[in-house]
Amino acid sequence: MKYLHIRDARVISPDQQLDQICDIYVGEGRIRAIGQKPAGGTIESTLDAQGLWLLPGFIDLSSYLNEPGYPHRGTIASETLIAASAGFTHVCAQPLTRPVADSAAVVQLMLDKAASAGYTRVLPLGALTQGLEGEQLSNMVGLRNAGCVALSNARQPIKDAYVMRRLMEYAATYDIRLFLHANDAALSAGGVMHEGPTATRMGLAGIPETAETIALAQILLLAEQTGAKVHISQISCARSIEKLRDAWQHGLPVTADVAIANLCFTDACVNGFDSHFHVQPPLRSEADRQALLQAVNAGELAICSNHQQHEIAAKKAPFADSAAGMAVYGSFTGLLMGLINRGELELNATLRALSSLPAAVLQLQTGLQEGELFNASLIDPMAKTGQGLGGKVVATFVDGYRSFRTDVDSKAAL
């Protein structure tokens, strides 16, 4: 067997209680040894990783990839390349494409394009309702069989509680996981930012916390009634964490994540009508941000990118008319390292929130241990980017292939 030898990396894998400077040997896509070279085989290439961190590959539970339908915003190839440059090895793609990912044909197209590009594994989220219109059930079993890891309505509203109940009952019958966004469409209608003093001062329509917490309460009660497997996507406020903790105390096996933007920014960033910070869910108060950080450190929340690339003109419109969404892959590593360096996020908790927690949601194997597929990234924690942010991904490996590296942005078999 021929090996890739990664030398003198700081290998950090919290679930394996591993944090030490050592060597790793990779052969035929899997980790064959940590520490000492295996008895047999030869070293085909050596990568000097002194001063670098070798981390488990990040798994993104929510990204909008825009293909098919919006190639002017980005293709699956271009967006998974930049995802790999942020350390992601797996990306869950929301079904808000054109046509909507509510058929096996669209799902297969996405999988084929992702495989051809080879930068990350794309895990499609199928449309929960036909056309994401929130009324008629999609072909849920057919989408699961086509390769969808879960079903989502991509922040598009479900008509009412009756439809939500039927969706959950059907999903529970066929053991299909649902990714649900907690948002009461009536309460959030017309809102463009967090309802609070900043919105009032700027004259912008606000979205109250109750738009999330009321919808979340409904989802949790229906999940308890139906037995559906539910993951809550992108919670944004402290009261939602309280409701989730109450559900966990009562044994409800629901999971949840938070978007990186809500860990880094608050509604105060909207001052000056900066449409870069027009996102959904909205950026909320500093108290909410601190509560979300504490929940990540406690191992309660996964972290997702919620990446959504728009054309420049759509973001340069007046704030209320601009497109909601933030392209974050290009700055993700720097934002993450900033939270760690400031002591707001603990390193091990952060890695769990980006690897083992989302892997558990998706029932994937993860971690840096002998015998596992080599899904990992090498990060230079001392590097500075053009924006002055610390931390840069040097290379990303997907199932043993170097899918991204700083010198050559192309897939290369090892």
CATH number at residue 393: 2.30.40.10
pLDDT per residue over 100-117, tens digit each?
Answer: 999 999 999 999 999 999
pLDDT attached to residue 408: 38
Q: Using CB atoms within 10 A of its CB, is residue 249 exposed (0-12), middle (13-18) or buried (19+)? A: exposed
388 and 297 inside one domain: no
3-state SS, residue 160: coil
Cα 51 to Cα 348, 393, 405, distances in angstroms: 18, 13, 16
| Average pLDDT, integer, range 87-112 | 97
Instruction: State whether 136 and 272 are in the same domain.
Output: yes
Provide the pLDDT for residue 405. 75
> With pLDDT > 70 as the criterion, what percentage of the chain qualifies?
97
Amino acid of residue 201: R
Q: Is the pLDDT of residue 24 over 90?
A: yes
Residue 72 pLDDT class (50, 70, 90 cuts): confident
Question: Which pair of structure tokens corresponds to residue 288?
Answer: 């909410």
**In the β-sheet with 121-127, what is the strand arrangement from edge to edge?**
302-304, 255-259, 230-233, 178-181, 150-152, 121-127, 88-93, 58-64, 307-308
Q: What is the pLDDT of residues 299-308, one digit of tens each?
A: 999 999 999 9
| Tokens of residue 186, six digits | 């009536």
Query: What's the pLDDT band for 411 if we cut at 50, 70, 90?
Result: very low
Measured between alpha carbons, how far is 381 from 214 in angstroms, rounded to an integer? 41
Q: Is the peptide bond before 124 cis (omega within 30 degrees of 0)?
A: no
Whether residue 412 lies inside any domain: the answer is no
Q: Are residues 121 and 172 in the same domain?
A: yes
User: pLDDT per residue over 389-404, tens digit each?
Assistant: 678 999 999 998 887 7
pLDDT at residue 49 tops 60? yes
Model confidence at 331: pLDDT above 50: yes
Range of the domain at 193: 57-362
Q: What is the pLDDT of residue 221?
A: 98
Q: Is residue 414 part of a domain?
A: no
Tokens at 324, concatenated: 């909601």
Report the alpha-carbon distance of residue 219 to residue 221 in Å, rounded.
6
Do 241 and 104 reside in the same domain of the chain? yes
Cα separation, 327 vs 197, in Å, equals: 27
pLDDT for 387 equals 59
Q: Which range is least confidently modeled, 244-253, 296-305, 397-406?
A: 397-406
Number of Cα atoms under 13 Å in the Cβ half of residue 104: 9
CB contact at 8 A, 215 and 183? yes
Q: Are residues 45 and 118 in the same domain?
A: no
Q: What does 238-291 look like in DSSP terms, one character per residue?
A: HHHHHHHHHHHHTT---EEEEEHHHHH--GGGGTTT-GGG--SSPP--HHHHHH
The answer to whether 45 and 56 have CB atoms below 8 angstroms apart is no
**Same domain assignment for residues 71 and 35:** no
Q: Quick one: which of 226, 99, 93, 212 has its CA closest to 167? A: 226
117: enclosing H helix or E strand:
helix 104-117
| Cα gap 395→376, rounded to integer Å | 8
Stretch 280-293: mean pLDDT, rounded? 98
Tell me: do 196 and 305 sit in the same domain. Answer: yes
Same domain assignment for residues 12 and 99: no
What does the alpha-carbon distance between residue 378 and residue 56 come to, in Å, rounded to a whole number? 9
**pLDDT over threshold 50, residue 412:** no
* pLDDT bucket at 410, cuts 50 / 70 / 90: very low
Residues 61 and 18 sit within 8 Å (Cβ to Cβ): no
How sure is the predictor about 406, in pLDDT bands with cuts at 50, 70 and 90? low
Is 276 in contact with 308 (CB distance < 8 Å)? Answer: no
Domains: count for the chain: 2
pLDDT of amino acid 386: 61
Digit-coded pLDDT (tens) for 340-349: 999 999 999 9
Report if residue 411 sits inside a domain: no
- Residue 250 burial (CB < 10 Å; 0-12/13-18/19+)? exposed
Residue 251 included in any domain: yes
pTM of the full structure: 0.95
246 with 382, same domain: the answer is no
Helix (H) or strand (E) holding 113: helix 104-117
Give 413's pLDDT tier (boundaries 50, 70, 90): very low
Residue range 127-131: average pLDDT? Answer: 98
**Does residue 410 lie in a domain region?**
no
DSSP symbols for 364-394: ---SS-TTSB--EEEEEEEEE-TTS-EEEEE
Average pLDDT, the chain: 94
